[in-house]
């Protein structure tokens, strides 16, 4: 099954006809004859989409949407309303209430199926983002009230038409109703559309003279890296259900099945921009969480969770290329004394400054991670023993050459570091990460035992190879 659709209609014959259509398209169909029974079914079954009559025995589609928005588990379920009155005021009221689409009854099966596929694709994308962010099902961002959100003044909207005269005509009509940053384009202006900054929304006219070119443009925009996150809204001109359906299947986020209507277009732009902003917010959160999971919050360096897989990859790459690499373990000397004498804020300041100095000496391919309290690990790809010796000396000097300033303290203190390094010379078999770390740790212990403020370098014995 492709998903579950809840059909709400007080007329049994309408429910039967819709069930036949939807079942033939491999959807599971739930049926309700009233608003009350629909809410109970939705809460218990969490459908993927709701298809409702505009008027119900105990309410209407807008009241259903309002009631569902108060239930977190179904607040974000898309809704299509079927209206016997296919007039503009009815459509505007329904869209303003948060309903995703209004189609005339009896419904054209082609446009209905295309609209369902489009809404389910968006829902699936949203759920994947929510699951990645939340780690579990049932998460939903709050839905803003579309009736109170004003058009955003900084929203960039491109109007793409068969001829520039039509594009400028639409621009003039839209400018009178919304404060968008509007641009007019010819339908073959793909290069201009991709120039930075790309539009937030691209409205594409589909008419009998250029529908083929416009549909190819639509697919092209959705496939390109620079424009794939732009909202694309298709406008058949004149109204054409078949072209609207094809546009939705080609990847348009929305379509005005009734042709160009300023008030409806503003509503759909506002809705789609809100959706885009919510998605961007989730992606930003995911990037922040990923960074937090892989970085030490104090120093900004990578942590062990990132460093261990990096070592594994470095060892495998070296086994293939035969190039040497080096792993270093470094530890600030007598760090506990700093915390005990000057306090933990002073110790934190020393750690941050030590991380900055060490990082400044390493190359762009090298990794520096904080793996413990005052312990750091460096991984240096393509680094033979003589270069490792020079780098270890530079790292020691970076720490001991200049004193460390302490916050809230009149003076400064001297800090030194001990380093243990192991240079691996692979012979076709990757070395174990644990063996590399253990060998570098032993070299660090030798450096500490020899008096600190120095580096001890070793080479991996062949027995370390797996």
DSSP codes joined into one string, 24-65: HTT-EEEEESSHHHHHHHHHHH--SEEEEESEETTEEHHHHH
CB 351, CB 284: distance < 8 Å: no
- Tell me how far apart the alpha carbons of residues 178 and 398 are, in angstroms, rounded to a whole number: 58
CATH superfamily of 304-464: Reverse transcriptase/Diguanylate cyclase domain (3.30.70.270)
Task: Give the closest residue to 242 by CA, choosing from 116, 108, 117.
Answer: 108
Distance CA 43, CA 32 (A): 13
Rounded Cα gap, residues 397 and 394, in angstroms: 5
Which helix (H) or strand (E) segment holds residue 280: the answer is helix 262-294
At the second CATH level, the architecture of 156-286 is 3-Layer(aba) Sandwich (3.40)
Cβ neighbours around 122 below 10 Å, total: 17
- Residue 1: the pLDDT is 53
- Angle at Cα 144 formed by Cα 141 and Cα 145, nearest 5°? 150
Cα(162)–Cα(70) distance, integer angstroms: 43
Residue 463: per-residue pLDDT:
39
Rg (CA), the chain: 31
Q: Do domains 156-286 and 304-464 have the same CATH topology?
A: no
Place of tokens 């694309």: 232
Sheet of 79-83: strands edge to edge?
28-32, 4-8, 49-53, 79-83, 101-104
Residues 214 and 338: their CA atoms lie apart, in Å, by 68
pLDDT in tens, the chain (466 residues): 579 999 999 999 999 999 999 999 999 999 999 999 999 999 899 999 999 999 999 999 999 999 999 988 898 899 999 998 778 888 899 999 999 999 998 888 999 999 999 999 888 877 766 555 454 434 344 444 444 444 456 899 999 999 999 999 999 999 988 889 999 999 988 888 888 889 999 999 998 887 889 999 998 988 888 898 899 999 999 888 889 999 999 999 999 988 899 999 999 999 999 988 888 888 888 888 877 889 999 999 999 999 999 999 999 999 888 899 999 999 999 999 999 999 999 999 999 999 999 999 999 999 999 999 999 999 999 999 999 999 999 999 999 999 999 988 878 999 999 999 999 987 767 788 899 999 999 999 999 999 999 999 998 754 343 3
Residue-level pLDDT at 130: 57
Torsion of CA 444, 449, 452, 456, to 10 degrees: -40
**What is the distance in angstroms between the CA of the first residue and the CA of the last residue of the chain?**
49
Lookup result for tokens 């588990």: 73
Q: How far apart are CA 112 and CA 101, in angstroms?
A: 10
Map out the domains of the chain as residue ranges.
Answer: 4-134, 156-286, 304-464
Looking at domain 4-134, which of 3.30.70.2190, 3.40.30.10, 2.40.30.330, 3.40.50.2300 is its CATH number? 3.40.50.2300
């Amino acid at each position: 099954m492709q998903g579950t659709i809840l059909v709400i209609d007080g007329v049994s014959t309408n429910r039967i006809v819709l069930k036949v259509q939807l079942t033939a398209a491999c959807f599971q169909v739930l049926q309700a004859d009233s608003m009350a029974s629909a809410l109970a079914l939705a809460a218990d079954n969490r459908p993927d989409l709701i298809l409702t009559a505009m008027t119900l025995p105990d309410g209407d589609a807008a009241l259903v949407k309002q009631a569902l928005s108060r239930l977190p588990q179904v607040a974000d379920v898309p809704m299509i309303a079927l209206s016997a009155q296919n007039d503009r005021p009815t459509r505007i009221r329904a869209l303003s209430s948060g309903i995703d689409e209004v189609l005339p009854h009896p419904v054209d099966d082609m446009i209905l199926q295309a609209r369902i596929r489009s809404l389910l694709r968006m829902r699936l994308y949203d759920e994947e983002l929510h699951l990645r962010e939340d780690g579990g099902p049932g998460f939903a961002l709050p839905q803003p009230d579309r009736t109170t959100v004003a058009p955003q003044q900084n929203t960039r909207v491109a109007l793409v038409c068969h001829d520039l005269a039509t594009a400028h005509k639409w621009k003039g009509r839209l400018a009178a109703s919304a404060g968008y940053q509007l641009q007019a384009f010819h339908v073959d202006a793909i290069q201009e559309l991709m120039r930075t900054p790309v539009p937030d929304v691209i409205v594409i006219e589909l008419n009998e003279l250029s529908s083929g070119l416009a549909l190819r443009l639509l697919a092209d925009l959705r496939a390109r890296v620079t424009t794939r996150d732009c909202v694309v809204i298709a406008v058949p001109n004149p109204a054409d259900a078949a072209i609207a359906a094809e546009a939705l299947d080609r990847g348009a986020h929305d379509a005005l099945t009734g042709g160009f209507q300023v008030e409806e277009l503003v509503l759909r732009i506002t809705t789609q921009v809100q959706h885009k902003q919510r998605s961007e917010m989730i992606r930003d959160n995911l990037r922040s969480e990923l960074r937090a999971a892989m970085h030490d919050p104090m120093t900004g360096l990578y942590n062990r969770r990132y460093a261990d897989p990096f070592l594994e990859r470095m060892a495998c790459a070296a086994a293939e290329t035969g190039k040497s690499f080096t792993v270093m373990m470094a530890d600030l000397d007598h760090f506990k004394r700093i915390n005990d004498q000057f306090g933990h804020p002073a110790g934190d300041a020393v750690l941050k400054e030590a991380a900055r100095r060490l990082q400044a000496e390493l190359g762009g391919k090298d990794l520096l991670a904080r793996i413990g309290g005052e312990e750091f690990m460096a991984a240096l790809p393509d680094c033979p023993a003589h270069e490792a010796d020079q780098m270890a000396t530079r790292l020691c000097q970076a720490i001991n050459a200049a004193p460390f300033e302490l916050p809230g303290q009149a003076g400064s203190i001297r800090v030194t570091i001990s380093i243990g390094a192991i240079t691996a010379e692979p012979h076709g078999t990757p070395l174990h990460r644990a063996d590399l770390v253990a060998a570098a740790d032993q070299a660090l212990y030798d450096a500490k035992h020899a008096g600190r403020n120095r580096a001890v370098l070793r080479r991996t014995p062949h027995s370390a190879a797996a």
